Structure 1
Amino acid sequence: MDGEREDGEGRPAVAAATFSLLANEHRMAIMRALAAPGEDGHDPAGLTDRQVYTADAVGPPTKSYSELKAATDIRDNGQFNYHLNELLGTFVRKADDRYRLTWLGLLADHMASTKLETDGVGRAFDADADCLACGATLRAVYTDEQFFELSCPDCGIGYEQMHVAARGVESHTDAGLLRAVASRAHHERGIFATGVCPRCSGSVERRVVLPPDADRARTVPQPLVYCRCTACHAPDFPTVGSLLLAHPAVVGFYHDHGVDLRRTRPWTLPFAASDAAVTVESSDPTRLSVRARRDGETLVVAVDETGAVRGVERDRQ
């Protein structure tokens, strides 16, 4: 028990010591310089065809000592060398007289960039999709806190919520942002469905959560699946149907009816975003069935309390 307590108490100290290395404007300047591409927009070192297949060459761009120093405003050699050496091993790696960010360095730079890019990024617009419950036009809102939300302004149903980094949002039109969010939703929920965290690759626990009061107006379109990473504790709350969109039976059903789910926005699919598509067969234990209908054929997917598929039926009427 003592060993566990010491380990738990030691983690914050290690984290504090690690991030304290970045608490200096010169070191952050070195980090930003290493993260930046060359003037032509490409890695200044370039990659040969052979290097493309070399694992060590796949990663952040590299810079020579002179390139790196020239990209910063640190003119004193001793000061530059001191701060560069402080970063080596944790955030920066040196190999063959070239420097590059480690993967931890990339994450740290991403966090720093995300903080710097928060001002004036908010926007709101009407989405080109209607609420499946009341028919009103959905409203998309992206805040200065870099949080995207898609909901119905009339009945209040929420269809999508996720963090989207400002760096990516700035490159998209409104329609492009919706496509990006839809792609992220497909990708991340598909990974969560396999029991793996899309953020840290840790093991994920899942459980279906039914609305606490069936008579109360719902603010979400379906029963939810509470997904929680046991390693980084990242949560997600997809609808039951959206968690199943990557299942082979669901993909195959829609493909047979001419629908490529990868290019479909989940909030436009009743299977993923309509309460009418879900039947609660039992609450103890939790058992659900989710239905998709296309061209006279019905797909019924049976789901247990963890959101796992327990049976699939197709019926043409």
Structure 2
Amino acid sequence: MNESVEDVGPDEAFALLGNETRVAILRALADTRDGPLSFSALRERVGMRDSGQFNYHLGKLTGVFIDKVEDGYRLRYAGSHVVGAIHAGAYEHAASVGPFTLPDPCPACGGALEFAYENERASVICAACERTSLDGAVPPGVFDGYDRDEYPLVFDRWLRSKARGAVDGFCLSCEGRTTPEVLLDVDARGTDDRMARFGCKRCDEAVYMTIPEALLFDPAVIAFHHDHGVSPTAEPTWRLQWLKDTAVETVSTDPLRLRATGHVEDGTLTVTVDDSLSITDEHRA
């Protein structure tokens, strides 16, 4: 009887992958576009002659990373994630890049912004004032298929997609539910004493953002930008005026209310948010 994913703990599940034949089985199933693979077809693609040994390794994966169906075998969601993680870390050309100068000036001082990538961590930092516009861990596979000059924008879009996922309620690590929280008197970046935290109660992973960053995904803020001819999703974050000079103040602590006032072109948007970062009031000028 095969174990189900519910029967196998994290340590046991990852221990199942400590064999090159099992990883090859997952990759072969991921590469197929013809639906489930039969036992013989899968063994042929993996290139293993010993049917008994192949059946042993296949049995270890089935019910955890692989499903056995009427027509053969197919990847489960967990198996797809394993193969995805392999591909994400397999792009050698982005192992170490930069630093090199971006065409955009620093939004704080006008100095030269520089992009660098090393040890699977990327950053966009001003060479003059050392202000960090972007910083974070990113797998090298994210840059696969792009020219070096495109890396900063790719990194920005990738980080923003992860931030959007956290705001929408999904943990970056385990896909569990994240809940928003406003932190007061936290000088995590040296830019604001109020931060937004999106924490996962299942794995304790958390994503931290400034309040303007968290509000950037709200429909009211998106509409405000579009009404002034700016796409907040198309422009890189270091060009967005909203992130540069939006002022945040605490209106009350019980109940918690924050007021954020930002500008785009000649327009001003003031929003009031509660402790879940939901906008309760907005005003344009």
TM class by shorter chain equals: 0.7 to 0.9
Partner of 1:67: 41
- 1:300 corresponds to: 270
What amino acid does structure 1 have at the position aligned with 2:212? G
The residue aligned with 2:199 is: 228
Greater fraction of residues in strand: 2
Q: Secondary structure at the match of 1:237?
A: strand
Query: What are the ranges of 5 or more consecutive residues in structure 1 without an aligned counterpart?
Result: 1-10, 38-42, 46-60
Partner of 1:131: 106
What's the offset of the Cα at 1:240? 1.3
Q: 1:189 to 1:173 in 2, by over 3 A?
A: same
CA contact (8 A) 1:202 1:232 kept: no
Question: Equivalences for 1:187-206 in 2 at 5 Å?
Answer: 187-197=161-171, 199=173, 200-206=175-181
SS at match of 2:142: helix
**Which range moved further: 155-164 or 99-108?**
155-164
SS of equivalent to 1:89: coil
- Which whole-Å CA distance do the structure 1 matches of 2:113 and 2:36 have between them? 44
Root-mean-square deviation (CA, aligned residues, Å) is: 3.0
SS in 1 for 2:283: strand
Structure 1 range deviating more: 106-115 or 92-101: 106-115
Render the CA deviation track for 1:20-77: whole Å, top value 9, x for unaligned: 211222212212222235xxxxx2x1xxxxxxxxxxxxxxx64333332222232111
Q: TM-score scaled by structure 2? A: 0.83
Moved more, 248-257 or 159-168: 159-168
Counterpart of 2:284?
314
TM-score for the superposition, normalised by structure 1: 0.75
Query: How much identity, in percent, do the aligned residues show?
Result: 26
Aligned to 1:140: 115
Give the count of matched residue pairs. 277
Find the aligned partners of 1:109 and 1:190 in 2 and give their Cα distance: 24
Q: Conserved in 1, the CA contact under 8 Å of 2:94 and 2:143?
A: no
User: Are the equivalent residues in 2 in contact too, given 1:225–1:237 (CA < 8 A)?
Assistant: yes
Inter-partner Cα distance in structure 2 for 1:222 and 1:137: 26
How far apart are residue 131 of structure 1 and its match? 1.4
- Does the 8 Å CA contact 1:157/1:220 hold for their aligned counterparts? no
- Residue 264 of structure 1 corresponds to 235
Query: What is the letter of the counterpart of residue 277 of structure 1?
Result: T
Cα distance in 2 between the residues matched to 1:137 and 1:280: 30
The alignment partner of 1:232 has SS state of coil
Alignment check: 8 A CA contact 1:208 1:240 kept: no
Q: Which residue of 1 aligns with 2:85?
A: 111
Structure 1 residue 184 corresponds to structure 2 residue 136? no
CA gap 1:301/1:228 in 2 versus in 1, 3 angstroms:
same
How far has the Cα of 1:287 moved from its partner? 5.0
Aligned amino acid, residue 106 of structure 2: C
3-state SS of paired residue (1:289): strand
**Paired position in structure 1 for 2:3:** none
* Conserved 8 A contact 1:158-1:219: no
